[in-house]
Amino acid sequence: MLKMFFHIRAHLRWYVLGSLVFVSVVLWSIAVHENRNDIMIVSFLNVGQGNSVFIESPTGTQVIVDGGPNNNLMKEISAVLPWYDRNVDMLIISNTDQDHFDGFIPFLRKFSTNVVLEPGTTNTNEPYKILENEIANKKIPKIIARRGQIINIGGGAYLEILFPDRDVSGLATNNGSIITRLVYGDTSVLLQGDAPQVMEDYLVSLGAEKLKSTILLVGHHGSKTSTGENYVKAVSPKWAIISASSDNTYGHPNQETLDTLNKYKTIILATCTMGRITFQSNVGTSARSEHGSVNDLSEAKALDGSRLRTRTNPSAGLGLCFQKGFGEKGIFYLN
């Protein structure tokens, strides 16, 4: 022990210098992450057969919409949260089915959140009881979503609740899904949980102009029960994201869904083939992919009219998620 003490004293300046370098690197990495340059980030996480969307506003407010199934969210979270960040400002459960909330159970055992937004539908299954107990034990406030609510997440970005517009405790879980529109400048993202076509048509009847969005998270993982033609026409998305697993047994996405999106020349991206899909929105930034060329590329216009290289839509045959080799992880920039 005495020998070690004299060794440390003899080399103290080097230990101090090493510690200063380490602290400097840590502080630099934090500063780089916190310098957001007015960028909003939306990541469609690769959680398999379910949904999970990470949102970070230009001021750093963080929201996760849905937790996906099983433990898959925990496998993805380190890709979007820095190592020192253990709190997310809001969790949104769009649908009380297990493929939308299950991942929040292990998440809340390691991370904290300030508030949980729920649709108000009921689920008496044991996993949902476990989640509700986690929320109650941590004394996390809960809010029931209602049409007209505006959630300001900073820097000019906000979430607008489009549905539910009533008490949905008596509705089927899919019909009572939270439908919300994320807005930042000219970029907007429509998230609809598992809302079926009957609810899509209802929203169109309330005002199609409220639905127009840059990006659509396709309802119910691409099932034919969602993504009706009148709805897609009203939303008029440039991009459609399908969140599903490559080995799902439901045939998601359904070919009818793909055909409807193709009819309106929507660019289709899927987590089952591309993995995590991230969009960044910042005024003055061209739209491009960070990951270079991929197969079957064509050109499409970015929001400002500049050119963006992206993937062509699938033409026919088996569902998109079963077309092997179709996809690559990508980060896309919008302005």
Is residue 88 within 8 Å of 115, Cβ to Cβ? no
In this prediction, residue 253 has a pLDDT band, given cuts at 50, 70 and 90, of very high
Same-domain status, 3 and 73: no
Residue 64 belongs to domain spanning:
37-334
Tally of structural domains, the chain: 2
DSSP 170-202: TS-TTTT--EEEEEETTEEEEE-TT--HHHHHH
Is residue 223 within 8 Å of 257, Cβ to Cβ? yes
Read off the pLDDT of each residue in 236-252 and give the average, rounded to a whole number. Answer: 92
Question: How many CA atoms lie less than 13 Å away from 317 in the CB half-sphere?
Answer: 8
Closest CA to 37 of 305, 279, 280, 287: 280
Same-domain status, 137 and 11: no
Read off the pLDDT of each residue in 72-87 and give the average, rounded to a whole number. Answer: 94
- Which pLDDT does position 247 carry in this prediction? 85
The set of residues, in sequence order, having a beta carbon less than 8 Å from that of 118 and lying 6+ positions away, is 93, 96, 142, 143, 144, 145, 178
Q: Is the pLDDT reported for residue 97 higher than 50?
A: yes
Q: Is the pLDDT reported for residue 327 higher than 50?
A: no
Name which residue leads in pLDDT, 315 or 171: 171
Q: Where are the alpha helices (DSSP H) in 81-215?
A: 98-101, 104-108, 126-137, 197-207
- Which pLDDT does position 210 carry in this prediction? 92
Same-domain status, 283 and 241: yes
Same-domain status, 180 and 273: yes
The set of residues, in sequence order, having a beta carbon less than 8 Å from that of 231 and lying 6+ positions away, is 197, 200, 201, 203, 204, 211
Closest CA to 58 of 180, 186, 188, 157: 157
Same-domain status, 68 and 24: no
Same-domain status, 103 and 174: yes
Q: How far apart are the first and last CA of the chain?
A: 61
Distance CA 279, CA 61 (A): 16
Which tens digit of pLDDT belongs to each residue from 269-325? 999 989 999 999 885 333 333 332 222 323 333 333 333 333 333 333 334 565 443
Same-domain status, 157 and 272: yes
Same-domain status, 31 and 113: no
DSSP 289: B
Structure-token pair, residue 335: 């302005």
- Which pLDDT does position 250 carry in this prediction? 87
Is residue 162 within 8 Å of 133, Cβ to Cβ? no
pTM given for the model: 0.81
Same-domain status, 24 and 136: no
Structure-token pair, residue 205: 């009847």
Structure-token pair, residue 153: 């997440």
The residues pairing with 4 across neighbouring beta strands, listed in sequence order, are none
Same-domain status, 85 and 134: yes
Which tens digit of pLDDT belongs to each residue from 9-63? 565 555 455 555 444 444 444 444 455 578 999 999 999 999 999 999 999 999 9
CATH number where 130 lies: 3.60.15.10
Q: Residue 318: left (phi > 0), alpha (psi -120 to 50), or beta? A: beta
Is residue 181 within 8 Å of 188, Cβ to Cβ? yes
Is residue 319 within 8 Å of 253, Cβ to Cβ? yes
Is residue 155 within 8 Å of 56, Cβ to Cβ? no
Structure-token pair, residue 273: 């083939």
Name which residue leads in pLDDT, 17 or 249: 249
Cα 185 from chain centroid?
Answer: 18
- Which pLDDT does position 188 carry in this prediction? 95
Same-domain status, 107 and 226: yes
Same-domain status, 6 and 131: no
Average pLDDT, the chain: 82
